[in-house]
Structure 1
């Protein structure tokens, strides 16, 4: 895991930005005082809709949450919370419009604040130190690319991030991985399905009506669209397919519910039937969805509706998928 450095920026915050990967940001920091994390809608400060989490600030003995660059909505005493000689671990969870800030190894947060309107839209975070202190940081989300040697590609820290998606329904022997996501977030090394009318779309899957249904993630829309019951259903909680090991993937032709050898199972219907990752071109745009073998078609979401196609392409990886 890489170590990142933040200089002493004095009284002027200068954040180094990273994309939010999951609903819980886990990090460790070594600093004398004044460690800060900001939450924004872009990879820059956006004062009109940003939050700042201060740890060991105001001389080192207090922590707090600041809204819109000036409104301190939470401030508590936290003596000796940071150390310039040792790393201290923390987590920040953003879920259902609530910020929770806690210490590594502790389940209960020491700071919370609720603001559903703004917090549902944050997708970047930044880190910074100042007021006479510099910092050294590590971030848990960088572990993604280091676990390709594992025989089962799971990630406990990712699975904890979204309580509604605690158990991954499908896992593979090779390093393709379903990562819990929400609100337009998608994992490192996401698997692209192709280009739609509004840019690149990515392979997604979401729980719906008792099944786990394949669909397409459009990051700008903040949802994964799944085809179901004749409709294009938007889901704010979903899984994104990641390929952290860089395994070669290909799209091979399929038809009438049949899939090539090595096709990835990507979910299951409400009746428990295995579904596979398929894509088709609709009106000149790629859409990704579910190959439903017993129905003999691939269903994809497009233009507000569910479309069915007898001929399609299926995602294949070099390895046999297995239910765990």
Structure 2
């Protein structure tokens, strides 16, 4: 996966985000000054966040900044490092808290800083500003070939939708995993297998297959065939990309977070691929884009209030794993995926919980169980001030996030559990913060609570 994604940036300091699966990104940029990169948990500007400014201050110096605040963590003189008439190559790496940048062909970075409190980076954003427009070539795996061998090539996914085009005689294999490797749990979709006679959905590389479908002549070695693969709350759909018709459909009773896809060919087949898996991809049938955070969202029946108290944010309607701009980051899953503050209706209650974008749904805790909700609301543009507390000690000014079926106010809390920081509901009368985790509702007497 060594192709380059072409990106144009305007003079507006607005980042364009792309998912990353490794601890580095390589790119070429043509701009007179101010090539800015952001390293974030999710596909938007939100803390925590690293920024690497290359050729700032009139193309005289470069800096590393954390959380958009000064003073800069490190500053170096780099006169003439960028050029508006030619591409200049660079790399940016992050590993164990060390953030560094270097020139193409040079091993030693020209700028580096160690963060004592590192966070997992899932996205890279690029922009230009201060009188500069830019053209970027970012190393990514949007189009590539696969040889005749049963070895997956992996790339990251940002939403519950993967669009692919495949040209080959047979055996188009796609896997969905929680890491860039063949490990369980794992979904496999085999299209045009068995000499282009049938297609299947397989779980953990085991038989019997979950779905088997006769598909004679599905693939063609002389033309690209298009497919859409969707996953929402454990439901896996494979569609014909030309007309949207469902080819295969299976529901996993115990879904797992999907962060990567893999592709391969084999059994005498070589394949050519075109992959669209970024947010805002050119898929014909993408999931609807989320509304802009600046809008005043309509509130569904039963939801108390649209705007948050004091004008500190609003609740944005979303579905299918959508993450609205300026969504409030609540924590991260055990695998490092960001979790956002969300809420949903269940059994007459409005329950705060967590949005797991890769699952295509939000989860809320209720009745001892974890409940997946494909439609939900996300807190956007709101506070991100978490205060430790315990039991029924809800401090004044705590942020109300919903209510029980009996009308008791529920607040937004979070706890650390098994390597995650998971958001959930604080029920004062019970003296605990409830989270949904691993299919269960778990209660914790010590927690952090979100303040307005």
For residues 210-247 of structure 1, what are the alpha-carbon distances to aligned partners after superposition, in whole Å with 9 as ceiling and x for unaligned? 1122246899xxx9574x7xx8x44141588868x8x5
Corresponding position of 1:135: 273
Corresponding position of 1:120: 255
Corresponding position of 1:53: 189
Residues 1:301 and 2:437 aligned together = no
Question: Is the 8 Å Cα contact of residues 17 and 126 (structure 1) preserved in structure 2?
Answer: yes
For residues 15-45 of structure 1, what are the alpha-carbon distances to aligned partners after superposition, in whole Å with 9 as ceiling and x for unaligned? 3143575xxx433222213543213354310
- Unaligned regions of 5+ residues in structure 1, if any? 155-165, 317-324
The root-mean-square deviation of aligned C-alpha atoms, in Å, is 5.6
In structure 2, do the counterparts of structure 1 residues 198 and 110 end up closer, same or farther at CA, with 3 Å as the change threshold? closer
In structure 2, do the counterparts of structure 1 residues 234 and 114 end up closer, same or farther at CA, with 3 Å as the change threshold? closer
Residues 1:88 and 2:226 aligned together = yes
Structure number with the bigger relative contact order (C-alpha 8 A, sep ≥ 6) is: 1
Question: Is the 8 Å Cα contact of residues 216 and 224 (structure 1) preserved in structure 2?
Answer: yes
For 1:197 and 1:75, the matched residues in 2 are separated by: 35
- Unaligned regions of 5+ residues in structure 2, if any? 1-16, 19-140, 282-286, 436-440
Question: Is the 8 Å Cα contact of residues 29 and 136 (structure 1) preserved in structure 2?
Answer: yes
In structure 2, do the counterparts of structure 1 residues 99 and 148 end up closer, same or farther at CA, with 3 Å as the change threshold? closer
Corresponding position of 1:26: 161
Matches within 5 A, 1:1-324: 4-18=142-156, 21=159, 25-33=160-168, 34-46=171-183, 49-58=185-194, 62-69=198-205, 71=207, 73=209, 74-80=212-218, 88-93=226-231, 99-104=236-241, 109-113=246-250, 116=253, 120-121=255-256, 123-130=258-265, 131-139=269-277, 142=280, 149=292, 151-152=294-295, 177=316, 191-193=328-330, 203-215=341-353, 226=365, 233-238=368-373, 249-251=383-385, 259=397, 266-271=401-406, 275-278=410-413, 288-290=423-425, 300-301=433-434, 304-305=442-443, 307=445, 313-316=449-452
For 2:335 and 2:175, the matched residues in 1 are separated by: 29
Q: What secondary structure is seen at the aligned counterpart in 2 of 1:134?
A: strand
Question: Is the 8 Å Cα contact of residues 212 and 269 (structure 1) preserved in structure 2?
Answer: yes
Question: Is the 8 Å Cα contact of residues 93 and 100 (structure 1) preserved in structure 2?
Answer: yes
Question: Is the 8 Å Cα contact of residues 172 and 190 (structure 2) preserved in structure 1?
Answer: yes
Question: Is the 8 Å Cα contact of residues 290 and 322 (structure 2) preserved in structure 1?
Answer: no
Q: What secondary structure is seen at the aligned counterpart in 1 of 2:182?
A: coil
Q: How far off its partner does 1:251 sit? A: 1.3
Question: Is the 8 Å Cα contact of residues 190 and 241 (structure 1) preserved in structure 2?
Answer: no
